[in-house]
Structure 1
Amino acid sequence: MNRLSRIFPKVDPFSLQTRLTIGVATFSALGLASLASWTSWKMQEILIDSHKENIKQIALRLPRDIEIYNDMLPVEIALQKAIDNRSDSNILLWVKSVDAKIIAKSTNFNLVSPSHVTELTSLSKMPITAEVNLINGRYFILYGEELKLKGRYLGKLSIVKDITNDQTMFIAMVKSLTVASILVIIIISLIIAIYIQRSLQPLRHISQMTAAIKPENLAETKVDLSNAPSEVKDLAKTVNMMLSRLSQAWEKERQFTSNISHELRTPLTIIYGYLQSMLRRKQNLTEIQLEVLETAASETENTIHILEELLDLARADSGYLRFNLGTYRINDLVNEAVEMAVKNSSRQIEIEVESDPIMVKVDHQYFIQVLLNLIDNGVKYSDPDTKITIKLKRSENKGIIQVCDRGHGITLQHQSRIFDRFYRIDEARTRSAGSTGLGLSIVKTLVEGMGGNVTVSSQVGEGSVFTVSLPRLPDNTSDN
């Protein structure tokens, strides 16, 4: 059972393996079934034809036998003598006169009961060509023709041959052949399935390797199938070329993001500083000038914030994002993040603790950034008169933080992409709310970098719940 489960781990009705197996097995089954049927039909034909030929020979030679015996005996005795000479235990002959009376009949036909003989001899019409009939559960070949002697009509000759034994043996042989054919078809189907499964193993290997590819290991990933068929080797070569081009494109994009972020952050910081300096001298500015400078300073600050997030993502992609992990109580970190969030927002933020202090190993700075991003996301996408709730829970080996809002909610269509970079559900509303589309992507990168994961569950019109799960340390662990 275990071996079969390893060979056939799961049957996918739409897979290439299943389709090939069913197709080849079906054609093999049809071929074997057709061959078995043709063989059975041909053997039946040969068997019946041999019996028919035997009856025809009897009908052909009987008049000559009668003529020979008639030279020495009266015609009635000669007729009976010839019939007994040509009949045996499974061949019955009789001759009926014009008035349908039997004038001669085989005396040594003893395989069937008298009732069968009576029923056979009472048949009013016999076929002029030999044919097989089933009478009372037994198989007979029937034949009839006119019997003449030197041009004189003697009567109607009827010949019956009992082939029940041969037919029964043939039917038993056909049943055995059918069972054997079914077993052969099953065995062949299993062999075909195993062969196809092994033949497709290189393709499955390519699929597994490509499924495990991540942006950070594109350059090192290579599909190597030395023992695969030539066509699969060509496919692997094409996949390797594609991976190489993707790696180059990813590296160029990452390098461009990093470079442009570095190059733009310094001049924008300088510009922001000049704008702030001018705003501090607002007594010398007109109302319109003050409004323009405030708008420019705000947009510059937002742009610097975007560049900093891009730099964080670029460092994470390059593996240069370093985590200074330490042991902390989630409760303390959440309180600290909430205090910072309240200073920048008038929104009510509530903390619900369902367990004792939870110890985790995280980077203090990045963890606070994760919470602030999630709180800021809830503030931006919920009505001002609703509160943000942070719930602290524990599972068997996880510390769980849930940031809940009563906002507009996220449809299932968008939930799968909510953590993608620059992904916005509503362009107009997110821009007006100051969203860059990078906050949740930063959250996912930082949480996974600390060994945890983040998910979202949401219902339209009821709000969203972002859940951060981190490995939990034993309760007796001392914190920093």
Structure 2
Amino acid sequence: MRLKMSKVNIFKNKRISVKLTLIYAIILSLILIVISTITTWMVEHILWQKAEEEMKKTYDSVEVYIKNKNPIDNNLFKSIYIGDTYLRISNKDKVILENKRDNEFNKKENEELYNLEELPVVYMNKDIEVEGNVYSILLERYLEDEEEFLEVLDDNLYFMNIIGIIVAVISGFYLSKKILLPIKKITNTAKDISINDLSMRIEVGEVDDELNELARMLNDMIARLEESFVRQKQFTSDVSHELRTPISVIQGYVNLLDRWGKNDKEVLDESIQSIKTETESMKVLLEQLLFLSRADNDNYVLNNEKFWLNELIDNVVKETRLMHRNHNIEYIMNEKVLMYADKNSIKQVLRIIIDNSIKFTESGGFITIKSQKLINYVKINIVDTGIGIPNEDIPYIFDRFYRSDKSRTKSTGGTGLGLAIAKGIVDVNKGMIWAESEVGKGTTISIKVPIKGI
């Protein structure tokens, strides 16, 4: 059992090119053996059948001779070619005619090569009646030549099989290496790729085969990994940047308190208030990061319930109007839609987008909301008359910590995670979110969410 397992392990540890060659050689060997066996059997069958046909012809000729000439004499051998076939004609009393066949000579000449008892033999033994006399005819022939031919054929086939297997092994190694060459290139390229250098790509040939398809898939995977690492690196940098400021502020006020604030009530109150503000900002930032982490890991749990979307939009608009009286917030369409979804998450998305629109719209500007029912979805457009977003920035506004250059200031407030959270919520609800904008004219954020939660 151990020996068997070791053999299997040895085969498993071989390179793919060796495995392919061995499998190819084994299959070809089996095919050659089967073909050789069938060929030998067919040739043997044909030779045997031919010998029987010849003996039948000889018997017919002897029968005709006996019927046409009586009494029987040695002239039969002059009239009919018997060859190395043994012939014996007898009646019930004695042997009338018997040839001393060549087999007796062959037996002496070839006694080192053949044992006649082991050779295949063809014979016929029949009785015929001529003018009241019954004759027994015996024909017998050993297939010495045929046996010799079959032995030569077996030797040649054996030799050709060995040559074929050798050629199969050599050609198998060559073809397997050639076929697996693209895989070797893929392997070498993969070895050169590292986390610090994901710019390399595997060369893809023009032929549309499985290996090129694999190369394209790996290139796509590497591209996604590169994009993911770039975003992760940017994300880490942005988090560090966002946390550095409040930590520096807190540290500054702690030092201030340590030096002068112990006995100065005004400095103490100012320091405490600033520390509270910065810690609150850090808390909000960490909660937002925690939400995004849950969304990334599919751990965000939806609490679906039935609710009227138009009533939810009315409530959000009323609350926003109370907090932002310097902006005009209205809607041009708010269709009555009964939804089954996570009400709180949809409300959070609406608040994020509306607050973001207010943030980048000057006082007195307009934020317009339009909600309409489609077949299986509801579509919500939130349009503002703000500063707009450059075209080159639109694809990135839903990325974490991303701010377009014109709005990347502390004066606007926020952490740069609002739209990223909105997109995460919409994605969790199996919806879509996108933006359209023109600098100086405003921005439109569109949302499509299934009416029935999935």
**What TM-score bracket applies, with the shorter chain setting the length?**
0.3 to 0.5
